[in-house]
Structure 1
Amino acid sequence: MTTTQETPDMLTGRPLGDLSRRLFGHLHRSDQQRWGHVYLQGLLRTHGKKTVRRMAAVVTGSEAASVSLHQFVNASPWEWAPARGELARWAAQSLPVRAWTLAPAVLPKRGNHSAGVHQRFLPESGRTVNCQLGLGLFLDAGQAHVPVDWQLFLPPRFTGDEAVRDRAKIPASAQARPLWAHALRLVQDMASRSGGRTAPVVADLTALCDTMPLTRRLHGGGHTFVLAVPGQTTLADPNLPPGERESVRGLLLRRGLRHPVGAGRQVVSYDTPVRGLRPEGQHIHATGRLLAEWDAGTGRPGRIWLTNITDRHPAELLDLARSPQGARTAIARMGEDFGLLDFEGRSFPGWHRHMTLVSAAYACSTLEGMGR
């Protein structure tokens, strides 16, 4: 017997109906629109693992409808970019967005045929896993983090071998790029969808890639940012002798200013130049800032962040820097309750469509909960 958990206002009423029409309104076929709505309902209403068979049974009463759901995600020729654009606009209209947060999602996989699957060492767990690596952009509203766009990291073997590319249905436009380039693409796409309204870009990608190329291109593109940097990162500084560089941890330790923020806590900051690279190749420089929470127990700075925002108090910036933790919490919940890990397919388009639908289901649930 299949059990369901339904919230009528969310699952069959206006919020889900409005979002479904916005996401799939660009599709010309009514059957595509219908199955998109059914898939969203299945992600919201099905307990446990979100297989297409179980979702079909919960929503339609017939497991046979799973064939149509599987085809809608894996084979039906619909583009996910317009749906994500509508999701981003819908969420931005409903939330007091304070940041665009980038966060990785490690999706364990079996076998080696799913698009982007590879072996990756995870420092936080100290083990190597077989996985896909997705990078999401989340709208941070303080109490909520809503995913609106994704990039899938592709190792070179998926783009350099035509047979592998064809088997995973990877389009020619998708290339093997470093993770920071995927992050930049997410920000650029969000900027193009937002009608000129932007927000600070916040991320901690230090365990996955070199973030300095991202800082230079974000600054050169006119984006504000708060990005984590490894403590051993070295920077040139006008207060140092010509040609000398010092680690960011050393700069904060020896030259940083401490700011009390209450409850015995302190933030340490140091103003330092940031470099930017414009899209046309021109290099620019401006004043930036290093900051970290001071660890009184060790007498050292904690996680270190680099920002080009200098008109806010360091404590406010450090609060913004906590945004990636909120996005990671959202990813964990998407895996537990919204089918993030349950994609039944191996193709590049199927992965992107599933991630779009999971993000929409999570957004609908989150915004409905905030409304209540």
Structure 2
Amino acid sequence: MRSMAAAITDSPTASQSLHRFVNASPWEWQPVRDELRRWVAARTRPKAWTVGIAVVPKRGDQSCGVHRRFVPDLGRTINCQVGMGQFLATGRSQVPVDWRLHLPSEWSEDRLRRRTRIPEAVQPLPAWAQMLDLADALAADGSPALPLVADLRDCAEPDRLLHGLRHRGHDFALTVPGTLPVLPSVTAHPCGSGMDPAVSPVSARRFLETEGELLRSVIGTSHLHPSRPTRVVTGLIRLPRGPQPQRFYRLFAEVPREGERPTTAWLTTLVHLSMEELLELASLPGTTPRALRRLEGSFGFQDFEGRSYPGWHRHVTLVSAACCYQELSDIDPTGLAGTVSAAPLLRAPRQAAGLRV
């Protein structure tokens, strides 16, 4: 706040006013994000939306949603906030347009909720339910229907997210655990009365190894690497439980070398797409960490000094708007006609490595 204020005025109270605008003023952030999402979609051709998990280290325990969490990238357990971001994947870039703040179960306590001004309607939710909430927000504002592309291998209860997305009519291409139970597509009861009870589910990994079709020399195209030939094993499956009538999904994975086991398994509703198109979608989550690092390094995502739930949401909304504007300026400055030209990014002096308050 101090760096931003100093860039535009000599007033000694400007930084305090900016801080109050974020932390204490009453403006609603969700309508701003809905408009931001429409604004980006109108100026780009997003192919999908992805999910980014942002971990914000915290030294104390006063900030909304702060909890102890093991962070694999750091190799240790820290105090932190965790935000789940919705990114629109537009060609070679991803831009943030919506957020959810993860609230652990202990944040159901009235004392903590009053102190950090958590709205009564907001309750702790598991990650899969927050992803559904982001998907519903995307559909509710009239944005183009886009598939969710994300990695669910570390997500608890991934089958609940899969059924929730399909029940709502949201398409997806998701990395799933190799242990996910699936049924071959030919297991329907011959009388049309549903699934054959004599057929037992198998794991996604076993299905690909024993019943998948091996496709050779598929051209895989990603946003980080040029086109390259690859082997893919794939097949149509159903899920053991879910809405009736049962529906088909495509399960697929790359096979590194002849005779080796398939790698990461993907599950998608987009059975009509070519394997080349599916591999391109599957590459999108690989660019999400880079988008998160840009938010942290260039736009101050981790630098919010307030502790309230509304303040956090307003902060990440403004950070997202700044990032989207800069990203679109880099892609096509002529597409921002009628707006002020993009100024150089304002960067506060970097703090020494360590946890932020």
TM-score norm. by structure 2 comes to 0.83
2:192 maps to 1:230:
no
Structure 1 window deviating more from structure 2 (353-362 vs 258-267): it is 258-267
Tell me: CA distance 1:171–1:348, structure 2 relative to 1, closer, same or farther (3 Å).
same
Q: CA deviation at 1:256?
A: 1.4
Distance in structure 2 (CA, Å) of the matches to 1:91 and 1:339: 21
Counterpart of 1:70? 19
**Secondary structure of the corresponding residue to residue 152 of structure 2:** coil
Contact kept, 8 Å, 2:183 with 2:239, in 1: the verdict is no
Which one of the candidate residues 318, 321, 326 is aligned to 2:279?
318
Match of 1:261 in 2: 218
| Structure 2 partner of 1:293 | 254
Alpha-carbon separation, structure 2, partners of 1:210 and 1:149: 23
Root mean square deviation of aligned Cα: 1.9
Deviation of 1:125 (Å): 4.3
Q: Distance in 1 between matches of 2:22 and 2:84?
A: 20
What is the 5 A alignment of 1:76-95? 76-95=25-44
Alignment match, 1:164: 112
Contact in 1 for aligned 2:181/2:239 (Cα 8 Å): no
Paired residues, what number?
315
Q: Which residue of 2 aligns with 1:19?
A: none
Match of 2:204 among 248, 256, 266: 248
Report the Cα offset of residue 313 of structure 1: 1.4
Provide the residue aligned with 1:20 in structure 2.
none
Which protein is richer in helix relative to its size?
A: 1
Opposite residue 322 of structure 1, the aligned amino acid is S
Equivalent residue for 2:237, pick from 258, 272, 278: 272
- Aligned-residue offset at 1:218: 0.7
Q: 1:236 deviation in Å?
A: 3.0
State how far apart, in whole Å, the 2-side matches of 1:368 and 1:243 are: 55
Q: Which residue of structure 2 aligns with residue 24 of structure 1? A: none
Measure the CA separation in 2 of the matches of 1:239 and 1:128. Answer: 46
How far residue 126 of structure 1 moved from its aligned partner, in angstroms, is 3.3
- Correspondence 1:336 to 2:297: yes
**C-alpha displacement of 1:192:** 0.8
- Residue 61 (structure 1) aligned with residue 10 (structure 2): yes
Q: 1:150 to 1:341 in 2, by over 3 A?
A: same
1:204 is aligned to 2:141: no
Residue 182 in structure 1 maps to residue 138 in structure 2: no
| Further displaced range: 235-244 or 293-302 | 235-244
Does the aligned pair in 2 maintain the 1:144–1:326 contact within 8 Å?
Answer: yes
Look up the match of 1:30.
none
In the alignment, the residues of structure 2 paired with residue 104 and residue 205 of structure 1 have an alpha-carbon distance, to the nearest angstrom, of 12
**Alpha-carbon distance change, 238 to 330 in structure 1, aligned in 2, over 3 angstroms:** closer
Whichever residue aligns with residue 350 of structure 1, its letter is: G
- Cα distance, 1:295 vs. partner? 1.6
Q: CA deviation at 1:122?
A: 2.8
Distance 1:138 1:170, change over 3 A: same
Larger mean CA deviation between 105-114 and 354-363 belongs to 105-114
1:296, 1:64 → 2: CA distance? 64
Q: CA deviation at 1:87?
A: 0.5
SS in structure 2 opposite 1:267? strand
For 1:304 and 1:200, the matched residues in 2 are separated by 17
Looking at structure 1, the residues matched to 66 and 201 of structure 2 have their Cα atoms a distance apart, in angstroms, of 38
- Structure 1: give runs of 5+ residues left out of the alignment: 1-51
Output the CA distance in 2 between the equivalents of 1:206 and 1:246: 17
Distance, in Å, in 1 between the alignment partners of 2:126 and 2:245 is 23
C-alpha distance in 1, partners of 2:155/2:81?
Answer: 13
Distance 1:299 1:340, change over 3 A: same
Which residue in 1 is equivalent to 2:48?
A: 99
Q: Which blocks of at least 5 consecutive residues in structure 2 are unaligned?
A: 188-196, 220-227, 334-357
| Alignment check: 8 A CA contact 1:276 1:284 kept | no
Q: Residue type of the partner of 2:218?
A: V
Are 2:236 and 2:250, in contact at CA under 8 Å, matched by a contact in 1? yes
The answer to whether the 8 A contact 2:237-2:250 is kept is yes
Q: Matched residues, percent identical?
A: 42
Question: Partner residue of 1:17?
Answer: none
Report the more deviating stretch, 174-183 or 233-242.
233-242
CA change 1:291–1:238 in 2 (3 A) is closer
d(CA) in 2 for partners of 1:365, 1:343: 20
Answer whether contact 1:115 1:168 (CA < 8 A) is retained. Answer: yes
SS of structure 1 residue aligned to 2:248: strand
In structure 2, relative to structure 1, the CA distance for the partners of 1:293 and 1:80 (3 Å cut) is same
- For 1:272, the aligned partner's letter is I
Structure 1's 349 and 96: CA in aligned 2 closer, same or farther, altered over 3 A?
A: same
Q: State the alpha-carbon separation in 2 of the partners of residues 245 and 211 from structure 1.
A: 16
